[in-house]
A and B are shown apart, each in its own frame.
Chain A
Amino acid sequence: MKGLWLLLALLPLIVHADDSELAELLGRIRQHGAAEFSYQETRKLELVSSPWQGQGQMLSSADGSLIKLQLLPRRIIMASTEQRMYFWDPEQKQRHSASADQAGAEAGQIALLRTLIQGRAGELQSSYDVAAKKQGQHWSLRFTPKPELGEQGSPTIEFSGDEDKNQHQILIGTSDGESTEYRMTKTAEGPEVENSIQRLLLEAKGD
């Protein structure tokens, strides 16, 4: 009984320790200003027999836009702004756009990436339970959909890294067993990236 009282007495401190770790990790992944990342993507889909690999660049702007420029196996642009999602496949000449909330699950993942890369993971806390973990140099933030919200189809997300602030991994897993993993390395920052973002956004929109 005494042990239980002791545990209850220490609980605020434990929670406080957890909160401070979460705050520190959220601060660590926060991206200020425009940045460019190279990425490698591995998708495991229910209907595809072997993992699919892709690579390219992700460009994050200060105004909140995110461009996913897939270069391999072929060039495709996916862009996410505050309100809209854009898709442009120059080889197939296919262009789509939709509002952020109607863009479907796949495009929704881009919006999630945008939130994570731009260090606004705190915004997810209303719909996700967030668990922060730190072991030596390795750290991870795990976002699990809040069961009480009952939103079926929301993916679980794990954002992880180590002492190198320029490298992250993001693993997005869906309830039907599909997953997408991004290994990202920051390659550039500054106004030049912003110019590239505007150019690619215009290309995606078809303006």
Chain B
Amino acid sequence: MSFVWRKRWFLILFPLLLAVSIWQIRIETDLNAFFTATDDEDSRLLSGLLKSGELSRRYLLVVEKANDANPTQTLEEFSAKLTEQLAQLSDVEKIWIASQPPRDWIDAISSYAPYHARLFSLNPQQEASQLFDPDKLASRAAKLKEALLSPQGGFVKTIAKQDPLLLSLNGFKNLQGQFQRQADLHGNAGALILQSRPAALDSDAHSLLQAAIQASFDALNQSAGGGFKLSMAGVPVFSVAAHSEISQDVTLVSVVSSLAVALVFLLLFRSFSALHWVMMIQAAAFVLGTLAIALVFKQVHSLTLALGASLIGICTDYPMHVMVHCAKHSQTPLSAVKLLWPSLLMGGLTTVIGYGALGMTGFPGFEQIAVFALFSIAASLGLTRWVLPALLAKSNIRAAHLPGIAAWVAFCGRHRRGLLGLFALCVVLAGLCLPQLRWMDDMQKLAMDMDQLKRQDEVVRAHFTPIEPGRFVLIQADDLETALQRSEAVERRLNLLKQQGVINEYHGLFPWLASQALQDENAKVYSQALSPQFQDAWRGALTKAGLSLDKLGLLPPPAAEPLQAEAVLASPVSHILSGQIITGQKGVALSLWLGAHDPVKLAAGISGMEGVRYFSQKDQLDKLAGMYRDRSLLMLAIGISIMSLFIWLQQRNIRKVILTLLPTLASVLFIFAIWALIGEEVSFLHVIGLLLSVSLCVDYGIFFMDNRGQNSDVTYHAIASSTLTTLASFGALGLGKTPTLPILALSVSLGVTFGFLLCPLLIQKPSKQ
């Protein structure tokens, strides 16, 4: 095909591809999808909890009187109004004052009255002597009368007509205690819990919801004389802040990276025409890579695009290499690209291998980047080979002379022996440093720095009785009945631990859900206790209290059938328990939420219980971090091995393979040694960064070893140009606030710099200058 038609086809197809990409692309901003693997059950559980776990969807709101303010409403009135208004928001599932159970909870409790004889206690045998003590019946009847005359009279009457001893309320005494503790802590107003509908990491929805909450508050506050202030905490608050930071990072990195590469390009070639064509080629490669992800995966993660933008800086290497040779040898672009094609192809292949290995490290996000790399590098290579000569046909290409390049090559040649000795010494010293290498075992250190938000979170949480969203007791079983029996055993153990001060409170499932075994045990104890003497004593107590014998005198037998858990889960109670019934697991999984506790003692306290374990999101994340690190190291080794194989297939000379790889391997060793010396904690991200730098540095080795132009000065100039663009594009990552980006920037920048400097030293100077 003639150059003219190649250019025309490129100019027609590029906008078409761009349009298709925009049509197909769905941007994913959920950090969870990028970072959390789902290839084992625990990871899936963690991922699900982070994404849509009930506690993750909760906001804690605190309304307080502003200092020196004199609002026209009391805090209680204001909180009540705010609660009413926020309940109207479409993304609010439920909102309640923390010290008072939501209305639907109270209604649900009434529905348990017919099953009172089956649900009154978690430990019916032990509690029976207290609950069925005939001497206490007079006092219980008197209290029943008081309750009937109280503001809760209607609620009590509904229960008492079915459950005169109010036994069903005994089962719920823990729940009452939780609300009472909250009231003791913060009073009856100001502390609100808002259950949102969107998944915790749906940042867009939560951003809108937070704005709506603030707007409602502001409007009410204005009408109340502006005397109140609102504080907010919860996982969605962090996810929105993180999303905002990442969006800023993506924009910053993309813009700075593109500008830096363009600037380096202009400095090197001083041609806007060439810049324009090369940038179009890179844009086409970027679009193809993005389109490939959109077709292979459902959504494209925004971080993939940010890292992809840096990858484009690497793809610029291929046209630049061609252009340097073209300018220095006064060749046409076509002849230069034909001459360099085997080296470019091998360089591209090793880079793809590196990124392929990266995709297999376990990070879902890096799978996308691997696919992006495969397609964009292939596109960049193909366009460099067949389209670039057509685009540059009329461009006047001049390459700037980079000072020091020739001098460094010459210096390495002159002092090779001494420098090699120094290099060998450095290798030995670096090897000695390696045992001091510290591995990062806390994934939190990779999290974004949000100290201010964390402080605000602590201040807000101090107003609430604590539930730790990241730690709970996980109960698993093949069927619901077994799971409930295990859950009840855990609750009994937790009650003991509570008495020992290991935990201050927990949110269990009893009596909302109770196993049939426990219900039968309760019924048996109840039936035994209901002797004729006991019934007589009860009637005597009713008479003494002035209560109706007709309505309350007959203590009914236990319900014939137990309360079926499936029926409970099909009723409105399922909304109350939704966060504690974990779906998507094999069999049945239940969770018991924990208040403030000692993790070590609690884990020890429940150890040995079948199907029960203490689950900590942090521990799980740290376990994942360790797993990623091991996989990254393995992939680093596998990546280097495959690259070696391909280089051997091309060179068929083991010495050349070793020489090609030596600068890269040496830089990896030196970087590890530097990290060991400065005490840097090395995470899987550091290793992944090195893997990237290896895939890039190997290209330099290949170019330098091949030296197809038979002029090492020109080859090294071309490599220098590539190094500069790589540093420009990956250096831009260092500006990001997401810790992932600076770590990758540092790893890759150090790797390519060492690799570049070591090439002329370690690879024997080609015979012809």
Give the interface of A toward B (CB within 8 A): 43, 45-50, 52, 78, 81, 83-85, 87, 89, 92, 94-99, 102-107, 205-207
Please indicate the chain A residues that have their CB under 8 angstroms from the CB of B148 in the complex.
45, 47-48
Complex Cα distance, B407 from A139, in Å, reads 116
Residue from B151, B189, B546, B548 with most neighbouring chain A CB atoms (10 Å): B151
- The answer to whether residues A78 and B151 also contact, given A49-B546, A99-B84 and a CB cut-off of 8 A, is yes
Ordered by A's residue number, 23 sampled pairs between the chains whose C-beta atoms are within 8 Å are A43-B149, A45-B149, A45-B153, A47-B148, A47-B157, A47-B552, A48-B148, A48-B547, A49-B546, A52-B149, A83-B77, A92-B146, A94-B150, A96-B151, A97-B76, A98-B100, A99-B80, A99-B83, A102-B103, A104-B154, A106-B150, A106-B152, A207-B74
Complex Cα distance, B76 from A89, in Å, reads 19
Q: Is the CB of B76 within 8 A of A48?
A: no
- The answer to whether residues A50 and B81 also contact, given A43-B149, A103-B151, A205-B76 and a CB cut-off of 8 A, is no
Query: For chain B, what secondary structure do more than half of its interface residues adopt (helix, strand, loop), or is it mixed?
Result: helix
B551 within 8 A of A: yes
Give the interface of B toward A (CB within 8 A): 74, 76-77, 80-81, 83-84, 100, 103, 145-146, 148-155, 157, 160-161, 187-189, 543, 546-549, 551-552
Complex Cα distance, B443 from A190, in Å, reads 69
Q: Is the CB of B151 within 8 A of A49?
A: no
CB proximity of B81 to chain A, nearest CB, Å: 7
Complex Cα distance, B74 from A84, in Å, reads 11
Please indicate the chain A residues that have their CB under 8 angstroms from the CB of B74 in the complex.
205, 207
Q: Is the CB of A47 within 8 A of B161?
A: yes
Please indicate the chain A residues that have their CB under 8 angstroms from the CB of B549 in the complex.
49
- List 6 tightest A-B contacts by C-beta distance, closest first: A105-B154, A107-B151, A106-B153, A99-B80, A87-B151, A106-B151
Which residue of A46, A98, A102 is within 8 Å of B551 (Cβ)? A46
Residue from B146, B153, B551 with most neighbouring chain A CB atoms (10 Å): B153
Please indicate the chain B residues that have their CB under 8 angstroms from the CB of A87 in the complex.
150-151
Which residue of B83, B84, B546 is within 8 Å of A48 (Cβ)? B546
Complex Cα distance, B731 from A163, in Å, reads 94
Please indicate the chain B residues that have their CB under 8 angstroms from the CB of A50 in the complex.
546
Q: Is the CB of A84 within 8 A of B151?
A: no
CB proximity of A108 to chain B, nearest CB, Å: 9
Taking CB as reference atom, which chain A residue is nearest B189?
A: A97
Which residue of B77, B154, B187 is within 8 Å of A84 (Cβ)? B77
Please indicate the chain A residues that have their CB under 8 angstroms from the CB of B83 in the complex.
99
Complex Cα distance, B155 from A106, in Å, reads 10
Please indicate the chain B residues that have their CB under 8 angstroms from the CB of A95 in the complex.
188
Complex Cα distance, B155 from A47, in Å, reads 13
Taking CB as reference atom, which chain A residue is nearest B157?
A: A47
Which residue of B77, B187, B547 is within 8 Å of A49 (Cβ)? B547
Please indicate the chain B residues that have their CB under 8 angstroms from the CB of A98 in the complex.
100
Which residue of A45, A52, A85, A92 is within 8 Å of B151 (Cβ)? A85
Given contacts A47-B547, A48-B546, A95-B188, 9 further A-B contacts (CB under 8 A): A48-B547, A52-B149, A78-B151, A87-B150, A89-B150, A97-B189, A98-B100, A106-B153, A106-B154
Q: Is the CB of B157 within 8 A of A84?
A: no
CB proximity of A45 to chain B, nearest CB, Å: 6
Taking CB as reference atom, which chain B residue is nearest A101?
A: B84
Complex Cα distance, B157 from A48, in Å, reads 10
Taking CB as reference atom, which chain A residue is nearest B74?
A: A205
Q: Is the CB of A49 within 8 A of B152?
A: no
CB proximity of A32 to chain B, nearest CB, Å: 24
Complex Cα distance, B189 from A81, in Å, reads 16
Q: Is the CB of A83 within 8 A of B81?
A: yes
Please indicate the chain B residues that have their CB under 8 angstroms from the CB of A84 in the complex.
76-77, 80
CB proximity of B140 to chain A, nearest CB, Å: 14
Taking CB as reference atom, which chain A residue is nearest B187?
A: A206
CB proximity of B191 to chain A, nearest CB, Å: 14
CB proximity of A10 to chain B, nearest CB, Å: 46
CB proximity of B361 to chain A, nearest CB, Å: 54
CB proximity of B157 to chain A, nearest CB, Å: 6
Complex Cα distance, B76 from A84, in Å, reads 9
Complex Cα distance, B189 from A99, in Å, reads 12
CB proximity of B576 to chain A, nearest CB, Å: 17
Taking CB as reference atom, which chain B residue is nearest A92?
A: B146
Complex Cα distance, B152 from A89, in Å, reads 13
Please indicate the chain A residues that have their CB under 8 angstroms from the CB of B76 in the complex.
84, 97, 205
Complex Cα distance, B152 from A100, in Å, reads 14
Complex Cα distance, B154 from A106, in Å, reads 7
CB proximity of B726 to chain A, nearest CB, Å: 64
CB proximity of A53 to chain B, nearest CB, Å: 11
Please indicate the chain B residues that have their CB under 8 angstroms from the CB of A78 in the complex.
151
Please indicate the chain A residues that have their CB under 8 angstroms from the CB of B546 in the complex.
48-50, 52
- The answer to whether residues A104 and B80 also contact, given A47-B548, A48-B546, A205-B74 and a CB cut-off of 8 A, is no
Please indicate the chain B residues that have their CB under 8 angstroms from the CB of A103 in the complex.
151
Complex Cα distance, B106 from A103, in Å, reads 12
- The answer to whether residues A97 and B103 also contact, given A45-B149, A49-B548, A104-B154 and a CB cut-off of 8 A, is no
Please indicate the chain B residues that have their CB under 8 angstroms from the CB of A96 in the complex.
151-152
Complex Cα distance, B74 from A89, in Å, reads 21
Complex Cα distance, B151 from A52, in Å, reads 15
Complex Cα distance, B146 from A43, in Å, reads 13
CB proximity of B375 to chain A, nearest CB, Å: 59
Complex Cα distance, B83 from A27, in Å, reads 37
Please indicate the chain B residues that have their CB under 8 angstroms from the CB of A207 in the complex.
74
Complex Cα distance, B103 from A85, in Å, reads 15
Complex Cα distance, B153 from A45, in Å, reads 10
Taking CB as reference atom, which chain A residue is nearest B83?
A: A99
Q: Is the CB of B157 within 8 A of A104?
A: no
CB proximity of B40 to chain A, nearest CB, Å: 46
Please indicate the chain A residues that have their CB under 8 angstroms from the CB of B100 in the complex.
98
Q: Is the CB of B77 within 8 A of A48?
A: no
Complex Cα distance, B77 from A85, in Å, reads 10
CB proximity of B571 to chain A, nearest CB, Å: 21
CB proximity of B74 to chain A, nearest CB, Å: 7
Taking CB as reference atom, which chain A residue is nearest B84?
A: A99
